[in-house]
Amino acid sequence: MSNIGFIGLGIMGNAMARNLLKAGHTVVAYDIVPALLDRVVGYGAARGESCRDVAARTEIVITMLPDGPEVEQAVLGPAGALEGAVEGSILLDMSSISPIVAQKVGAACAAKGVAFLDAPVSGGEPKAVDATLAIMVGGEEAVFQKVLPILKIMGSSVTLTGAVGAGNVTKLANQIIVACNIAAVGEALVLATKAGLDPEVVFNAIKGGLAGSTVLNAKAPMVIARNFKPGFRIRLHQKDLRNALLAAESMKVALPLTSSVQQILMALITEGKGDLDHSAIVTFIEAMAGIEVKSPQKAAAN
């Protein structure tokens, strides 16, 4: 059993830390939001006083934070994890951030003799709870092998994709596919509803064909049920697409579909919908069509 630090206890970090505790590991946890820290301490984690304190008390530190600036602050800032980490320890950043930031943090860790991996995840809250996340890792093979048993506690698919930063490039590719897929699902269901069809019937008719996908199976029922409780928030997906576009610009790669969906997400954030699930992309399409996705019977009842 390992002594693991865990920094960042939001929707994803909460579930991931809990799975590590269930597996019998010792977890020293910290979050700047006291209520989030209290919740994980209630599961049996030890209370960390700061990022530095967590790193000083553990051999492996996991960070799960919203974006690059938060990772830089938690690791490189005053009272950050790197201040407390000792030579030979491992810092594992599971946040979804810019590959450029991941490489910057990795270089700072290397200068102190601390191993670093970037290992963003995909699957949202349901897969974090079930410990079936897809985990995409960037870093050295030897370090990856050391933490692989720990990663397998949190995910069902764990892949080393390349050097530091490669994990986040892979995650950005994942997020492009997911975002564009959700937008396509929204457009399809809006079209079906506008034509007078029952969107649930349409969903059941197409899910077994070539259009079938994990995204369709997960998000179409949420749209039809009008359930936009966040598994993955719009504002976080917008952040990921922004990072994808910035990375693409640096490499002179055009991403026209990504750009369009990123603008939809930004418009929804402006409308105050940033904390809804990303399946709420459909509401942007519904507003343009003047119709809400629902069965004809429910529409008639209203």
Q: Which residues are catalytic?
A: 171
At residue 113, what is the residue type? G
E-assigned strand segments in the chain: 3-7, 26-30, 46-47, 60-63, 90-93, 115-118, 121-122, 133-138, 155-162
Q: What share of the chain is helix, strand, coil (3-state, %, to 5)?
A: 60, 15, 30
Three-class secondary structure of residue 255 per DSSP: coil
Among 89, 208, 102, 190, CA closest to 147: 89
d(CA 215, CA 185) in angstroms, rounded, equals 8
At residue 220, what is the residue type? A
Q: CA 43, 70, 157 angle in degrees (round to 5)?
A: 60
Among 59, 55, 29, 57, CA closest to 44: 29
How many helices (H) and strands (E) would you count in the chain? 15, 9
Sign of CA dihedral 131, 134, 138, 139: positive
d(CA 262, CA 203) in angstroms, rounded, equals 25
Q: Which helix (H) or strand (E) element contains residue 17?
A: helix 11-22
